[in-house]
Structure 1
Amino acid sequence: MRETVSQVSILDETNGLAHMVARSEAAEAYRYWKKELETDQEAQSLIKRFQYMKEQYEEVQRFGKYHPDYSSVNKSVREMKRDLDFHSTIAAFKKAEKDLEKLLIECSRIIAESVSASIKVPTGNPFLDSKSCSGGCGSGGSCGCN
């Protein structure tokens, strides 16, 4: 019975944290830019063209440099990617998405570290995570990473 009350209390506090995150500036910006992206016809057209080019790219990659369209498809994909990256709505959405991701990772890190310093929080990007080790740590902190 005591464990159940404790678990319910933890779940209540977790719900409170979830509501705070949902009402945060990062979450509001994410929702705003997601809606803007969904209604921006130019951005949607770019995304569809990029998806088509990505399919072409994957087909060409099966044969590598021996495919007759290898160079042109690779060049087209890079150009399309650049166009996507510099489109104002897409760029704003990606920034909002990254900001929300950072907030969620930081919340996860604070919770994990409050339990134990050896708990690792996956961030999805080991190159930017100052607390990760290079080889993937499944040893419970005994690998020596910080």
Structure 2
Amino acid sequence: MQMTSDWSDILDHVDELNEFIMTSEIVAAYHKAYQDVYSTPEVARVVHEFSRLKETYEEVQRFGKYHPDYKSINTKIRVKKREMDLIPQVTELKAAENDVQDLLDELSLLLAHAVSHDIKVPVSNPFFQSATGSCSTGCGTGSGCACSA
């Protein structure tokens, strides 16, 4: 593939879009929320404990209910997750992560539909799926998403 002025223009626009995303209020809010979680020793400790427990949980899940610690690990992980979810900084971080994901999903849809409306873009928010009308040709779920398949 030869580098042409068109490709150079496209790369310049990609750099501009990247700069726009990285300097947006949404990403700034995410960075602040992330900093709030990991700069507070007590919150960082709870998150770290949950991460360690999650590794153990994943190991236990390989064997399922036949693992000797199955019930105790399942109970511990749920209790620790609930403890972590009740921390306001963690809740704010999760909300900020969702906002960033929604921004990226929306941009992905805009870019894909600029090329063709037939491009299917996986998104995390069902609102974006239904707003695009991407199921007008059928999505393969047997009309489970209320499409006209």
Q: TM-score, normalised by structure 1?
A: 0.78
1:95 aligns with 95
Partner residue, 1:51: 51
Deviation at 1:46, TM superposition (A): 0.8
- The Cα offsets for residues 10-49 of structure 1, whole Å up to 9 and x where unpaired, read as 2212222221112211011011111112211112111121
Displacement after TM superposition at 1:69 (Å): 2.6
- Residue 38 (str. 1) matches residue 38 (str. 2): yes
Query: Is the Cα–Cα contact under 8 Å of residues 102 and 125 in structure 2 kept in the other structure?
Result: no
Structure 2: which 5+ residue stretches go unaligned? 142-146
Q: Distance in 2 between matches of 1:3 and 1:54?
A: 47
Partner SS for 2:4: helix
Residue identity matched to 1:33:
A
Aligned length: 136
Which amino acid is 2:10 matched to?
I
CA contact (8 A) 1:30 1:97 kept: yes
Change (3 A) 1:65 1:30: same
Structure 2 match to 1:118: 118
Q: How many Å apart are 1:126 and its aligned residue?
A: 7.6
Mapped contact 2:34–2:93 kept (Cα < 8 A)? yes
Counterparts of 1:58 and 1:3, CA distance in 2: 47
- Equivalent position SS for 2:122: coil
Give me the whole-angstrom Cα distance separating, in 1, the residues matched to 2:140 and 2:86: 31
**Aligned-pair CA distance for 1:105:** 1.2
- Partners of 1:23 and 1:78 lie apart in 2 by 36
**What is the aligned-residue identity percentage?**
37
Contact 1:26 1:96 in 2 (8 A): yes
Structure 1 unpaired stretches of 5+:
136-143
Shift of 1:53: 1.6
Q: Following the alignment from structure 2 to structure 1, what is the Cα–Cα distance between the partners of residues 119 and 105? A: 13
